[in-house]
Every structure is written in structure tokens, then in C-alpha cells.
Structure 1
Amino acid sequence: MVERAARRIVEKIVASAPAGWTRAVLASTAGRGGVSVSGVYDVPGASLWGHSVPSPFGELTALAEAVREVRGWERTSLEFVCRPSGEYELVAFTDAVTSLRGRGGGFQVVLDPDSRLPEPGAGEPEGSAGPAGDPELAVARFREYLTRRAAILGRPEELPPPVSAAALKVAERRVGRALPADLRALYAIADGDGIGFEHRYLFGGNGWLALEDLVAIHADQRQPVWSGWELGWQSVVFDADPPDTVRRRGGHPAWLPFATGEDGNYLAVDLSPARNGRPGQVIRIGRDYDRGPAYVADSVTSLLGRYLELLERGAYEEYDDHISLLEPAERLGPERIVGEMPGEIPPGLQAIHLNDVASPVDLGPLVAAPRLRLLHLNRCATADLAPVRALPVESLRVTVDGGDLAPLAGHPHLTSLDLGTTAPIGIAPLRTVPRLRGLDLSRAEVRDLRVLADLPDLRYLSLTARQWGALLDEGKAPPALAAVRLADDDAPLGEALAWAARLGLDTGDALRVTGALSV
């Protein structure tokens, strides 16, 4: 079954081959979660990316299913190598070894599937201030809001009946927390604003959720979505505005979504705010807020007051029997810059990507950004990392041109470093970086890789095959690695399996198929 499915794919690769080809490589990760494909034909004298292999998605799905029946793998990493003679080889293994060809290059191995990186807001102290919401005022404002909307529309808007006290208690028991008093009081007026499948969109273009829907969506949104090690090792959760009002997390059990934008985003009440927040404050979470939630208002009560002010000012539009409030546009995500260093640095800047600027780059102006969390230099270099010492940078991607890592010694915030160099460099200062969890040295020439053994909390490491060989030959791999990357883009899957085995992964169950077509 596996051999027959593999042969069909090889036939497609050979049939689509360009003139003069000498070899074809197709890499794929396939299974019930979908299929990815990358690979090229080697053609002497042609551009590396000039001849892509075909993408036989259906055949790869069938092959993955055949492999699943034999090995039990839900998703499989596959690699075909084909030659004009008709000879071919298939290597397959569970996607614990994943090809990154075409998206960074090389292979990734997950050594500890249950490991996750801590989010910065997980250990933050909770704010000590009391709630800003007032249930009596919230009810009065809500009724006034409905009255003014009815005057604009020429009719009252139908709402569902209220939620019973017993149903409220059941819902609160299921989410594990009591609703803020002001939001709770509104559910005693109506169970959201939806009739059938039609919302009134009372909360600034967001549909107010029925209590049962609040409970169900909370169960889905209560924990951060893990993006995987490929991206997660250097991801950053940014601060809300104002700072330190909302925890820097991708999700939290104390965030209760109560209104939906019907696009994967929600308004939520936050019952576990950061040190400058208030319990019951309103935040935005969801699909577009994976880099951190946004602060909206200190309470549902205040939010209703804002809506009344907008109606009073005439800041609304009426269409299709709906009222759209004209709220000021808000920034989606943190303040960031992509491109060149600006003449004036915004003090609220949290992320900057410097692309293709003249080197060496002077990072000195960035000291004017005391909230900078992410600093990435792409295709450019700097000779001096001293300005980074004073900044709360957590994710640093940089090429050092003649300088050293001394300014990073003891850096209290740095969690990930993607380092390139133009000359050999020492990494001893990294021993004193307390929160360093992710490290990519594949673009760097490092004097002594044995220092890595002194990084007990490092969870992710990316090196070239040559660097890995030197490190493993010395027995100096960091002790707590959860995910690793072999950075060589041209490494075959068989080589990646041998490397993974040296790191402790059992690869003895790898599947290998060889054959030849009649050509």
C-alpha cells in the first residue's frame, strides 16, 4: 500500500521534470491536518528556484493515510529523492521531525511535545484597585442607551428575555468566576442582543453574547493558542495601552468574552488585571490579538457612558435598521516600525524591524523607546549593542559586525536571541542572561560552543550541522532543550533523523522505501 502510493507520486515528479534535470527533491508534511509541499528540480545552470516540483496533494494525503495504517502516525514528514534514471528513495517519519524547507530552512525536532514557553504576564502581580463598574449606573445607562437608539430608529429594538438568577449562578460556576457586577446586572435585563441569528450590535458593532455563548466561547479562549516552536521560540506578547493595565498573555481563564465581532475577535471583561488595571475592565481579545490584548475601558459601565456620548454628539451612522457608532480608530497591535530608523522615535514604540539599512546601524536613538520589546535587524548589522542594555528588549535578532555580546550580560528581559556575525564571537556573556529561552546561532561563527552547556534554562536551539556536530561530539548540549533546529536547508531527511537520534529521539521506526521506474 505504501509502496504503491509512493510510486504514484514519483511518477508525477518524473513526468513533470524539466529538460536537463539531475535530481528532484520533494519534502512534505502530510496528514489529517493538511498537506504542505516544497522542493525543486536540480538543473545545472538554472536558478535554484526556477523549477519547483509539482504539488500532488491528493496523492500525498493517500500516502500519509497508508503510512498511518502501518505506523500509526497522525502526521508524517516525507521526503522523496528522484533521479532521471527512475531510481527513487522515500524517507518518512512522524512529524516530530519537521521539514522547514522554504520557510527558514532545515529541520525542526520537538524533543518535549508538552513543553511551552512561559508568557511574561503569567507571573505578574494582580492589580490591587477595586472595580470601576457600578451595576446601578450601568443599568441606568443601558436603559438610556436603548431609549436613544429607539428614538433614532423610530422603534424599540427587540431583545431576548432576561437571564434568571439561577442560570447566572450556573454560568458563573462553569466559568469559575463571578461576572463583574455591572455586566451581571445587564444580563438581568436581557440575555444578550441576539434574536435568532440576528444581533442588534449594541456594543460598538459587536454582538452581545447570550450567557450560554459566553460560557462556551470562554472555554475555547481561556488558554493561549500555542503557535508551535517554529514561531513561538521568539514570539513576544506586547503591552496594552495604557501600560500595565492588562496582563501580557495570549489568553487567560479570567478573561470572559461577552461580545463578538463575528470575526474571531471579542470584547471581554478582565477579572485578573495587571498592576495598573481594574477588575471588570473591558479588553479586546481573539484572532487579531494573539500578540497581546488591547485595553478598551475600565468597566462595562464606562463603556456604556462612552456610547451615550457618541450618540449625544451624533457620532453614528444608521443603515439597514442598525446603528453604527463612529468610535475613534484604534491601533491593532503594538506601536511598531518596519523599514528604516525614523528621525524621531515614538516613546510608545514596542517593536521595530530595521530592513536593509546602511550598516553599521547606530542603535543609540532607540533609548528613547523605553517600552521596546522586539528589535530585529534584517539584512543589516550593528557594531555596538550597548543601547540594548537599557531597553526591555525580549526578542533580539541582530548581526554583530566587529562588536561583542558584553552589553547583553545580565540583561533581565532578553528571552530570545537570533545572532549573526561577521567575525568569530564569544558567547560567554549569555551565561548571565537569566530569562534566555531561545537561541539561534546558525548565522554566527562562535568561538566556543561549549558555553551552551552552561545555559540550563535554554529550551530552543538552532545550529548548523557543523555546529551541532561539534557540540554533540563534546557532549555539551544544553540540558533542558524542548525543541531544536538543524539549520542547513540542503540537509536530507535521513541526515536529520541521524541528528535527532543523537539528541535522544527514537528514530528507529523511520520508514524507507526505494524503487525504480522504467524510463
Structure 2
Amino acid sequence: MDEAERRLGHRLPADLRALYLMADGDGVGHDHRHLFGQAWLSLESMVAESTGWGAAERPWYGWDLEWDAIVHDASPADTVRRCGGHPGWLRFASGEDGNFLAVDMAPARAGHPGQVIATGRDYQDGPAYLTDSLTSLLGQRLELLDQGAYEKYDDHIALFPPDPGPPPREFVGGPIPEEVPPTLQAIHVNDVTGLVDLSPLTAAPQLRRLHLNRCATADLSPVRDLPVEDLRVTLADGDLAPLQAHPHLTSLSLTSTAPTDIAVLRTLPRLRSLDLSGADVPGLPALADLPGLRYLSLDARQWNSFLNDAEPPPTLAAARLAGPDVSLDDALAWAARLGIDTDDTVRVTGTLRRRA
């Protein structure tokens, strides 16, 4: 146990330590009894899962998919750190499907060391808070046994906990709902006719992602006091002034129906990712003054205008040449202007035939 804790860099919470002193997981060979609804790992396996590749960070799927990624807050708020993984999350049970239960030894300010969280493959948007301790988790399972809320087959018992469902934190649909739940953290507004009024979203003080898809707004004022980190918007005859000095905005995808001044982007302290390929934006040299920009997407005309007058920000890690008709030659010429060596580019041609 002492060696395991040394390797983990954390002392186990007292209840989990006591449990391991009684038994080394619930496995008999490769067959687990699923004490926690998941396979309770042996101490050796727990150390391996908690310190192995990917345990301390969320998987990275590349700039094309991840440039606007966010992490949701758990419920209750501020109990679990808003990150995809952490070395203080000690995975003690496995769903054997890429999901885990973990004791959280590095909680957020409203959390408690030793609280139990769910993390892993199905929690890419953020971990879930389950209980304040392993003792509480075991107590819940004992209550289900007392209530007869289980089914026994062979040597296994499957418990049936009530499912109140998590509080709504994401909405995908048409118009913004008349009653916006205060727990909402992401909203995707799709295909709305006419201009979208964003003012109802002020009822969601935890909103972190706002996407307007195939619809537009003329007023970004409601976003000013919301902790929005990822914004995708079509702006109709409006301006970006309400975003002045926004302290949270990290990624912005802008489409506009009229020329839009982007000087306000200089005032965004956390802006890291930007897609202006669908916008009419004069003054592109202002992009060179964005000190933290990591990702930039422009169309060919915009890139030419920008590179004729300025150098790319030195912090830029990834760039995209947007547009439906970009050829390989176009892409190579553009990459060369960015200072990328294209001499070793491989061209492959051929015919794809379906197998009979």
C-alpha cells in the first residue's frame, strides 16, 4: 500500500485504504463481481490506470476537431476541477469500456478530497460528481439492497439505482427555449428564421458554449456578462463591441453579413482560436497583434490580404486554409508563404474501384 501511494503521489482516502486492506479488488481471475457497478480494480491495476498514458489529460483529436473544445462544470458547481484529466483523480473502478470511477484528491473549491467522480471515454466534456466519499457510495448500494432494488444472477448482483437524470447542461434545437435552465452550459441554436434574440440566455449564468448554426443575431450584448468560452455566431449588421475585454472568450467563429471591425479582438485576454473564413472583416493586419493566438482559419483571399501586410502571430500552432475549392497547389503555395517546407510533399494518384 505504501509503495502504491508513493507511485500515485497521493495517500489514498481512509475509506478506500481500509477497503484495500480487506480485499485487493473484486476480481476472481479475469471475472469481476462489480462491487461498485463497475469492476473494482486491484491495487496494482489502480496504480496502472491512474498513472498510465492518458490518465492525467483528455485525449487530443487534433486541431480540426479540438480548436473550440470546452470542459463543462460538474454538478454541483465547483466541486470538480474543470479539466479532462488530473493526476489527483485515482481510478479505482473500471467499466471495462474506457470509463472509470475515481477518488478525487484534488477537488475544486466546493469539493471534498476523496469525493467520487466518473471520468473517461464518455466524459470528454467534463467529469461527473457522484458522491462526497467512497463510504457514501457504498451506503447508497446497501440501501438499494435493503430496498430489494437488485437482480441476482449466478454469483453477481445487479443494482438498480433511481435515475433522476443529470440537470440539463446542453440544448440542441431550434429557437432558444422560453425557459432557459440555470444549469445550461452549452446551447446550439439551429435554423431559426429571423434574428435570434440572445437575451433569454442571461438566465444561464454557467453558459460556456454558444453556437448559432444557420441563423443570425444583431446584438451580442447578452454575451457580455456570461462566461462564454466558445462562440460561433453569424452577425447581421451588428458589431463585436459588446465583446470588449471579455474575460472568458477563448474561441470565436464569426460569420458576418456586413463589414465587421475586428479591432476588439485585441482586447480579449484569453482568445486562442479564431475562424473568420465566413466573415467580411477589413483590417486583418490586426490579427498580428493577438499575443496568444494558437489557431487561425481564413479563406484564400483573407490569407493573401493578411500575409501581404503582416506576419502571422509567433504563437500560431495551427492554421487552416478554408474554402470549398482549394486545390493541393493552392494549399502548397499558401503553406510556403507561412514558412512551411513543402519540398517533401507526397502526391498520390490512382483509381478507386469497388470490390465485387
Normalising by structure 2, we get a TM-score of 0.94
* Deviation by residue 1:49-81 (Cα, 9 ceiling, x = unmatched): xxxxxxxxxxxxxxxxxxxxxxxxxxxxxxxxx
* Corresponding residue number in structure 2 for 1:469: 304
Aligned CA distance change for structure 1 residues 458 and 513 (closer, same or farther; 3 Å): closer
* Deviation by residue 1:361-397 (Cα, 9 ceiling, x = unmatched): 0001000000111100000000100000111110100
User: Is the 1:292–1:333 contact (alpha carbons within 8 Å) kept by the matching residues of 2?
Assistant: no
* Deviation by residue 1:99-145 (Cα, 9 ceiling, x = unmatched): xxxxxxxxxxxxxxxxxxxxxxxxxxxxxxxxxxxxxxxxxxxxxxx
2:2 is aligned, of 142, 157, 169, to 169
2:162 is aligned, of 328, 332, 339, to 328
Secondary structure, in 3 states, of the residue corresponding to 1:303? helix
Unaligned runs of 5+ in 1: 1-167
Deviation, structure 1 residue 296:
0.5
Deviation, structure 1 residue 502:
1.2
* Deviation by residue 1:470-513 (Cα, 9 ceiling, x = unmatched): 00011242231000100023211222122112112111222457
1:277 matched to 2:111? The reply is yes
Deviation, structure 1 residue 462:
0.2
* Deviation by residue 1:423-477 (Cα, 9 ceiling, x = unmatched): 1100111111110100000010002111111111111000001100000011242
* Corresponding residue number in structure 2 for 1:178: 11
1:189 matched to 2:22? The reply is yes
Secondary structure, in 3 states, of the residue corresponding to 1:186? helix
1:351 is aligned, of 180, 186, 189, to 186
Distance, in Å, in 2 between the alignment partners of 1:429 and 1:450 is 13
Deviation, structure 1 residue 314:
2.3
Distance, in Å, in 2 between the alignment partners of 1:333 and 1:229 is 30
Distance, in Å, in 2 between the alignment partners of 1:332 and 1:184 is 30
Q: Which amino acid aligns with 1:172?
A: E
* Corresponding residue number in structure 2 for 1:287: 121
User: Is the 2:38–2:95 contact (alpha carbons within 8 Å) kept by the matching residues of 1?
Assistant: yes
Secondary structure, in 3 states, of the residue corresponding to 1:510? coil
* Corresponding residue number in structure 2 for 1:198: 31
Runs of 4+ with deviation above 4 angstroms: 330-334, 512-515
Aligned CA distance change for structure 1 residues 333 and 195 (closer, same or farther; 3 Å): farther
Distance, in Å, in 2 between the alignment partners of 1:193 and 1:354 is 46
Distance, in Å, in 2 between the alignment partners of 1:192 and 1:378 is 48
1:259 matched to 2:108? The reply is no
Secondary structure, in 3 states, of the residue corresponding to 1:472? helix
| Aligned residue runs from structure 1 range 423-462, under 5 A | 423-462=258-297
* Corresponding residue number in structure 2 for 1:367: 202
Aligned CA distance change for structure 1 residues 366 and 313 (closer, same or farther; 3 Å): same
Distance, in Å, in 2 between the alignment partners of 1:365 and 1:230 is 31
Aligned CA distance change for structure 1 residues 330 and 262 (closer, same or farther; 3 Å): farther
Distance, in Å, in 2 between the alignment partners of 1:310 and 1:416 is 45
User: Is the 1:238–1:334 contact (alpha carbons within 8 Å) kept by the matching residues of 2?
Assistant: no
| Aligned residue runs from structure 1 range 184-263, under 5 A | 184-203=17-36, 205-218=37-50, 219-220=52-53, 221-263=55-97
Give 1 or 2: higher helix fraction: 1
Q: Which amino acid aligns with 1:227?
A: Y
Aligned CA distance change for structure 1 residues 514 and 485 (closer, same or farther; 3 Å): closer
Secondary structure, in 3 states, of the residue corresponding to 1:471? helix
Distance, in Å, in 1 between the alignment partners of 2:184 and 2:165 is 12
* Corresponding residue number in structure 2 for 1:416: 251
Secondary structure, in 3 states, of the residue corresponding to 1:417? strand
Q: Which amino acid aligns with 2:242?
A: P
2:148 is aligned, of 310, 314, 324, to 314
Secondary structure, in 3 states, of the residue corresponding to 2:315? coil
User: Is the 1:200–1:207 contact (alpha carbons within 8 Å) kept by the matching residues of 2?
Assistant: yes
Distance, in Å, in 2 between the alignment partners of 1:332 and 1:225 is 24
Distance, in Å, in 2 between the alignment partners of 1:514 and 1:278 is 59
Secondary structure, in 3 states, of the residue corresponding to 2:274? strand
Distance, in Å, in 2 between the alignment partners of 1:370 and 1:328 is 28
Distance, in Å, in 1 between the alignment partners of 2:65 and 2:348 is 32
Deviation, structure 1 residue 331:
4.7
Aligned CA distance change for structure 1 residues 425 and 172 (closer, same or farther; 3 Å): same
* Corresponding residue number in structure 2 for 1:402: 237
Unaligned runs of 5+ in 2: 351-356
* Corresponding residue number in structure 1 for 2:353: none
User: Is the 1:400–1:420 contact (alpha carbons within 8 Å) kept by the matching residues of 2?
Assistant: yes
Normalising by structure 1, we get a TM-score of 0.65
User: Is the 2:167–2:183 contact (alpha carbons within 8 Å) kept by the matching residues of 1?
Assistant: no
Secondary structure, in 3 states, of the residue corresponding to 1:171? helix
1:296 matched to 2:130? The reply is yes
Secondary structure, in 3 states, of the residue corresponding to 1:366? helix
Secondary structure, in 3 states, of the residue corresponding to 1:288? coil
| Aligned residue runs from structure 1 range 2-41, under 5 A | none
Q: Which amino acid aligns with 1:182?
A: D
